[in-house]
């Protein structure tokens, strides 16, 4: 006789619970690395490290993406393909690392810990009880997705160190000659407090600092700094040419751009503090890749642009944008292959919520355009959207 069981799905086979668990782990990815005692490098949206699973020593063997477009925590071992054995999810990563730490796993024939043990580890790490991780149908709709995001955002905001704007201005030599040389006006650099940090005791010493303010424009929540030095042809780092070359371990300190500690660009949209009222008024937001693009548009009298700090929009940035009141998006990513891919990614992410426009520009990016070119190529579309 056939029996009909009404047994509840086991938590381990409930894909939506596993996905939520993965997301929670990714929300504190550096906490996970610390717990597993892994050395890593934060490259913005991607972390790299030597492979802690097969145990190699190539420092860029692993690429791990805690944001990702569809599935967060995707990873890849470039030298041995360890993700093919353990699955490229964050749970697969945990399983691989623990298998190495517990059974000295190095190759596919070696013993591994079970998937259940990896899930157990992740639930303890995130202080969740997987059985009671409650996901009702209504929790899957956008409203509660947003509330989860806001919860995570608030947690993240607590971690940010806030520095009052007056103090920021005192610390920097504003305006930065570096950007004046790149044809930005001193006025625009003053408006955005862009200046040189010449204090050897500061994290941003010998960098041109671009402060990022909270939405109320009261305090700095983070900053980006461009090295004032050019790329060294010997070691490829951006160090003082009068000093000797940089070791591999110190290379990150001498990168072209550096973000302040604990600041996550993926949680932020540059210029939100100034643009928000203009977005509400025009119902239109312009999306660009970098602060320099925002400044150029401001110089041309366009005040509703936001920068995503790179070539993709994260889920958190989309949530921020959703709170802005915009109905139209004008996507002005760079005029190169990466920029066109970024525009496509933004369109896919946003076309159900916004009218998306992707104009073509004649220069390689908005920062390269003259005011005249902006007036001719971009303003007519903005006029039409009014």
Nearer to Zn ion, 24 or 246 (CB): 246
Q: From the CB of 102, what's the least distance to Zn ion, in Å? A: 16
Would you tell me which residues interact with Zn ion (CB under 5 A)?
A: 51, 53-54, 77, 80, 82, 232, 234-235, 245
Q: Cα(55)–Cα(213) distance, rounded to whole angstroms?
A: 41
SS3 321: helix
Nearer to Zn ion, 29 or 356 (CB): 29
The Cβ of residue 43 has, within 10 Å, a number of other Cβ atoms equal to 14
The smaller minimum CB distance to Zn ion, of residues 50 and 260, is found at 50
- CB neighbours of 85 closer than 8 A, spacing ≥ 6? 96, 108
Q: Which is nearer to Zn ion, 235 or 385 (CB)?
A: 235
CB of 36 to Zn ion, least distance (A): 14
Q: Give least dist CB 75 to Zn ion, A.
A: 10
Q: Which is nearer to Zn ion, 53 or 90 (CB)?
A: 53
Least Å distance, CB 82 to Zn ion, is: 3
Buried b / exposed e over 48-84, threshold 16 CB at 10 Å, is: bbbbbbbebeebebbbbbbbbeeebbbbebeebebbe
* Secondary structure element (H or E) that encloses residue 16, with its range: helix 15-27
- The 3 state secondary structure assigned to 167-206 is HHHHHCECCCHHHHCCCCCHHHHHHCCCEEECCCCCCCCC
DSSP secondary structure, 226-260, as one string: EESSPPPTTT-----TTSPPPPGGGGGGG-SEEEP
Tokens for 286? 């312009």
Q: Which tokens hold the place of 229?
A: 């030095």
Beta-strand relationship, 305-307 and 284-288? parallel
Q: How far is the CB of 112 from Zn ion (least distance, A)?
A: 13
Q: Number of helices (H) and strands (E), helices first, in the chain?
A: 15, 13
Nearest to 156 by CA among 322, 28, 313, 43: 28
Nearer to Zn ion, 108 or 301 (CB): 108
Q: Is 246 or 330 the residue whose CB approaches Zn ion more closely?
A: 246
- For the bound state, the minimum distance from the C-beta of residue 260 to Zn ion, rounded and expressed in Å, comes to 24
36 vs 381, beta carbon nearer Zn ion: 36
Is the CB of 100 or the CB of 284 nearer to Zn ion? 100
Q: Which residues of 182-202 are buried (b: 16+ CB within 10 A; e: fewer)?
A: eebeeebbeebbbbbbeeeee
Q: How far is the CB of 105 from Zn ion (least distance, A)?
A: 10
* Side-chain half-sphere exposure of 357, counting CA atoms within 13 A: 18
Q: Smallest distance from the beta carbon of 107 to Zn ion, in angstroms?
A: 10
Q: Which 3 state secondary structure label does DSSP give 51?
A: coil
Report the chain's terminal Cα–Cα distance, integer Å: 69
- Report, in Å, the least distance between residue 254 CB and Zn ion: 8
For Zn ion, give the closer residue by CB, 110 or 166.
110
* Count of residues in the chain: 386
* Nearest distance, CB of residue 188 and Zn ion, angstroms: 32
């Amino acid at each position: 006789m056939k029996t009909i069981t009404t047994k509840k799905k086991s938590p381990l086979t409930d894909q939506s619970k596993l996905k939520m668990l993965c997301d929670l782990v990714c929300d504190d990815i550096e906490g996970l690395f610390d717990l597993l005692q892994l050395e890593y490098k934060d490259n913005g949206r991607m972390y790299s490290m030597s492979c802690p699973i097969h145990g190699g020593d190539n420092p860029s063997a692993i690429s791990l993406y805690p944001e990702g477009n569809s599935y967060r925590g995707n990873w890849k071992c470039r030298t041995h393909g360890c993700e093919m054995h353990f699955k490229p999810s964050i749970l697969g990563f945990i399983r691989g690392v623990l298998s190495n730490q517990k059974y000295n796993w190095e190759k596919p024939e070696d013993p591994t810990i079970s998937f259940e043990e990896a899930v157990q580890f992740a639930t303890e790490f995130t202080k969740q009880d997987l059985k009671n991780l409650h996901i009702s149908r209504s929790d899957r709709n956008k409203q509660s997705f947003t509330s989860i995001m806001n919860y995570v955002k608030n947690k993240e905001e607590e971690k940010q160190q806030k520095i009052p704007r007056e103090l920021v201005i005192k610390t920097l030599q504003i305006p930065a000659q570096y950007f004046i040389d790149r044809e930005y006006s001193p006025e625009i650099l003053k408006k955005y407090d862009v200046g040189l940090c010449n204090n050897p005791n500061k994290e941003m010493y010998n960098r041109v600092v671009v402060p990022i303010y909270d939405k109320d424009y009261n305090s700095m929540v983070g900053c980006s700094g461009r090295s004032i030095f050019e790329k060294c042809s010997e070691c490829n780092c951006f160090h003082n040419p009068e000093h000797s070359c940089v070791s591999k371990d110190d290379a990150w300190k001498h990168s072209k751009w550096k973000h302040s500690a604990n600041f996550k660009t993926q949680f932020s949209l540059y210029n939100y503090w100034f643009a928000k009222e203009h977005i509400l008024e025009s119902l239109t937001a312009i999306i660009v890749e970098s602060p320099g693009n925002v400044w150029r548009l401001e110089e041309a009298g366009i005040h509703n642009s936001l920068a995503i700090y790179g070539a993709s929009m994260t889920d958190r940035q989309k949530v921020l944008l959703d709170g802005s009141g915009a109905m139209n998006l004008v996507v002005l990513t760079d005029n190169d292959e990466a920029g066109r891919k970024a525009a496509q990614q933004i369109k896919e992410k946003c076309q159900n919520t916004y009218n998306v426009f992707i104009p073509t520009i004649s220069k390689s990016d908005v920062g390269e355009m003259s005011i005249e070119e902006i007036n001719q190529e971009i303003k007519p579309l903005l006029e039409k959207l009014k």
